[in-house]
Amino acid sequence: MQQGLLVELKDWMKEQGDPLTVFHEPLMLDAPESWVPRQ
- Please report whether residue 13 resides in a domain: yes
**What pLDDT was estimated at residue 38?**
60
Contacts 24+ apart (CB under 8 A), 13-22: none
Q: Is the distance from CB of 24 to CB of 33 less than 8 angstroms?
A: no
**What pLDDT was estimated at residue 15?**
96
Q: Is the distance from CB of 7 to CB of 15 less than 8 angstroms?
A: no
Domain that holds residue 26: 2-34
- Please report whether residue 39 resides in a domain: no
**What pLDDT was estimated at residue 16?**
95
**What pLDDT was estimated at residue 39?**
58
Tell me the pLDDT tens digit for each residue of 8-26. 998 999 999 998 787 777 7
- Please report whether residue 15 resides in a domain: yes
* 3: pLDDT strictly greater than 80: yes
pTM above 0.95, yes or no: no
Domain count, the chain: 1
